[in-house]
Structure 1
Amino acid sequence: MPVIAVLALDGVPGHQLTGPGVSFGTAVQCHPHVAYEVRYCAGPGFRTTGGPAPFGLDTPWGLEGLEDADTVLLPGHDGFRAEPPPGVADALRAAAGRGSRIGAIGTGTFTLAATGLLDGRRAATGRRYAAELAGRHPRIEVDPEGAVTDSAPFHSAAGVLGGVDLCLRLITLDHGDPVAIETERQIFLQLHDPAGRAASTDQTGAGRTVCRGVSRLGPTIRWMEAHLDHPLTLEDIADHAGLTVRGLTRCFRAETGLPPLQHLLRARIQLAQRLLERGDEPVERIAARTGLGTPANLRHHFQHHTGTSPRTYRTAFRSLVSTLTWADGLPTDAPASRGTGR
C-alpha cells in the first residue's frame, strides 16, 4: 500500500495538515481499488498548528516516518523563511534519493527549496509569496499563479484548500482522471450541500451511501459509461455482459448494491454533475448527452438523487469553489492572516 507521509512542522496551517487526509481518504472510500496509507509525522520542534484555532498532534511518527514513504508532503509552517529544523533537509534529500515523490504545499516550498532539490526546476507557492520565493532562490522558476507544478519527482502548489489541488494531481498520476474527478466532486459535496442533506454518488434506503467498485462487471460498466447517451435496455446490458437478465441483475446487486438500470441512472446523474461543474452547456444539451432525454426528465432525476435542481447545483458548486479559492488570490501587498493559504 502506498504510504503518504505528511511532515508537520511547527505552526503548520491546520487545513494544510488535514487536506491530504481528506483527499486521499475520499479517494479510498469511493474507489475500492485505490489504497493509501496517510501517515502524519511530527517534525523536530513541533508544538501546535497555526491559528486561528491551533491544535496539537498526537502521532507515533517523527522524521523516521519518511524513511519508507512513497510520497512525502511538506505543508507550510511558521518560520518558513529560516533554515529548516535540524534533520529535515537531510530527511528530504534522503527521500528524494530513494525515489520518493515530494510535494510542497504553500510555504512548504520554501523549506523544500532550502534543500537545493528544486534548483533548475519549476515550483509554486502561494501567490503572495511567489516573488519572495523567486528572490530568495533565483535558480528556481517560480509559477506566479501558484498553480500545481510538476517537476518530477517534485510537485508544488499554493496552499489554497489545504493543498487539495496538489493531492488531486497526485491521485491523477496514480489512478487517472476519472478517479481524481470523482474524488474532487465528493470532497466539495462534503464541504457544502446546497440542499442541506448529505450528498453522495447515490443514496438508497435511509441515506446509505453507495460508493462501491466492480470486478466481473468492470468491462460492462465501462461500456455503459461510454454509451450513456444511448437508450440502453436490460437486454442490451445483459448481452454485453454475456449473462441472462436475471443473472445480470444478481451480479449487479452483489457487486454494486443496485440493479442494472439504477446503476445506469446513477452514472447518468454523475455525468450531469460533471458537466454542470465544468461547463456552461444548457440543461437541454446535458439531458441529451447523459441519455436522460428531456430537461424535465433530467430535473426530476437530478432532484431525486441530489436534493437540488441542476441550476442550483451549478451555482452553488461554482460559488463554493470561488469562495474557497479567493483567499489565495489576494494581491501580494495584502496582509496575510495566520494560517490562511500559507
Structure 2
Amino acid sequence: MHTIAVLALPDVIAYDVCMAIETFSRAPLPNGENGYEVRVCGTEPIVEAGPLRISTEYDLDGLVDADTIIVPGRNDCVAHIPASVLTQLRKAHSSGTRIASICTGAFTVAAAGLLDGKRATTHWASAELFRHTFPHVLLDVNVLYVDEGQVLTSAGASAGLDLCLHMVQIDYGSAAAARAAKLAVAPLHRSGGQAQFIARNQYPVNPAGQKSELNGTLAWIEENAHHDLTLTDIAEHAVTSRRTLNRKFRTETGQTPMEWVTGVRIRHAQELLERSSYSVERIGREVGFVSVSNFRDQFRRLSGTAPQSYRDAFKEHDAHHSEREIT
C-alpha cells in the first residue's frame, strides 16, 4: 500500500488538506481495498486552518517512511516555515520520496530548494510574488500542474485535485484513477490551463497603488470592444497620439491597446459562453471578431482552450439562460 503524508502547517488552507485526504482515501483498487494509507502530519498537534482546527495524527516523523508527501498551500504563502520542516523535506527528497504541492504549497517546496532549475506552477494570484521570491524556479502559470518526476506542483484549489488524480493514475493505472475521479465527481482530464480561470483586471493599478490615468479609456474600450475599433479610434477618444497611447499602455498594462481590446473581447466571449445558448460563431461576431477562425485562435491563445471546451466546462445549467445582447 502506498503511504501519503499530508503536511499540515499552521495557517494551512483547509480545502487543500481535505481535498488531498478525500481523494487518496477514496481510490479503490479492483479488489475493493483502498490503494493508499493517508496520514496527516504537522509541527503541532492542533493546526489552525482559517476558521477550522485540524488535528494532526503524526508529527514530522510521519514524513520519514511516506511514499508521497503532499504539501498544501497556506493562506499566508510567505509565512515562516520551521527549519525542521525544510530539513525533513530535503531528507525525504534525497531518499527518493515523491513530493507534490497544492496551490501555494509550492512556496514551501521551493523554500526547501527542491524546485531550483525546475518547471513549477502555483496559484496565478501568487505568481509574481513567487517569481520574485524564487527567481531560480521556472514558473509556468499557464498549466494546471507540472510533473517533474519526483517533484510535482499544481495550481490553485481544484487543480490540486487534477494533480492527485494524475498521481493515482501513475501509481495504479487509468482504471483506478477513473474510479477515484468518479467518486470525486470530477473529470479525470481537463483541457486547458489556469489561463481559462484568470479574470483580467478591469483596470490596471500602477506601482504606487493609484488607479491608472488610462481608466477612462479602458472603461470606453469595455463598452465599445464589440465595434470594429482601430488604434486611431482609441487614440482619438483618449485625445492623444497613437505613439503616446502605445507608450502608456505598455507602461501600465504591459500590452498594446489592441492586445487589450482582444483581451476584453475574449472575456466578454467567456461570459456569453457561460451564460447564453448562442453558437460559438455568433458569440465571436457579438464580441467584435470579424473572422470566426481568428476568434477561435485568439480564444485558445488567451484562455488555453477552445471556445466549446470552455463552454462545456463552465456552462451555467439554469432553467433559462441570461443572453446578454451587445449593442
Q: TM-score range by the shorter chain?
A: 0.5 to 0.7
Query: What is the aligned residue count?
Result: 196
C-alpha separation between the residues in 2 aligned to 1:17 and 1:320? 28
Q: State the match for 1:17 in structure 2.
A: 17
C-alpha separation between the residues in 1 aligned to 2:101 and 2:174? 21
Q: Does 1:8 align with 2:18?
A: no
- Please report the RMSD computed on the Cα atoms of aligned residues, expressed in angstroms: 2.9
Q: State the match for 1:119 in structure 2.
A: 116
Give how far 1:181 is off: 2.5
Identify the match of residue 65 of structure 1 among 43, 62, 65. Answer: 62
Task: Return the letter of the residue paired with 1:76.
Answer: G
Q: State the match for 1:38 in structure 2.
A: 38
SS at match of 1:113: helix
Give how far 1:46 is off: 5.6
8 Å contact from structure 1 (residues 126, 146) kept in 2: no
Q: Which runs of 5+ in 1 are unaligned?
A: 190-315, 323-342
C-alpha separation between the residues in 2 aligned to 1:101 and 1:136? 23
Q: Does 1:105 align with 2:102?
A: yes
8 Å contact from structure 1 (residues 70, 101) kept in 2: yes
Q: Does 1:87 align with 2:87?
A: no
Change (3 A) 1:321 1:67: farther
Once the two structures are superposed, residues 6-65 of structure 1 have per-residue CA deviations (whole angstroms, 9 ceiling, x without a partner) of 000111111111111211122127762652100001235963112xxx221223311111
8 Å contact from structure 2 (residues 25, 34) kept in 1: no
Q: State the match for 2:178 in structure 1.
A: 181
Task: Return the letter of the residue paired with 1:23.
Answer: T
Task: Return the letter of the residue paired with 2:59.
Answer: G
SS at match of 2:5: strand
TM-score (norm 2): 0.54
SS at match of 1:116: coil
Give how far 1:157 is off: 0.3
C-alpha separation between the residues in 1 aligned to 2:101 and 2:312? 27
Q: State the match for 1:327 in structure 2.
A: none
Q: State the match for 2:169 in structure 1.
A: 172
C-alpha separation between the residues in 1 aligned to 2:11 and 2:114? 23
Task: Return the letter of the residue paired with 1:14.
Answer: A
The structure, 1 or 2, with the larger RCO (C-alpha pairs under 8 Å, 6+ apart) is 1
SS at match of 1:27: coil
C-alpha separation between the residues in 2 aligned to 1:320 and 1:130? 27
C-alpha separation between the residues in 1 aligned to 2:67 and 2:32? 20
Q: Judge which range, 56-65 or 106-115, deviates more.
A: 56-65
How many percent identity over aligned positions?
Answer: 34
Q: Judge which range, 153-162 or 124-133, deviates more.
A: 153-162
Give how far 1:68 is off: 0.5
C-alpha separation between the residues in 1 aligned to 2:18 and 2:315? 19
Q: Which runs of 5+ in 2 are unaligned?
A: 187-310, 318-327
SS at match of 1:188: coil
Task: Return the letter of the residue paired with 1:88.
Answer: V
Change (3 A) 1:2 1:18: same
Q: State the match for 2:131 in structure 1.
A: 134
SS at match of 1:69: coil
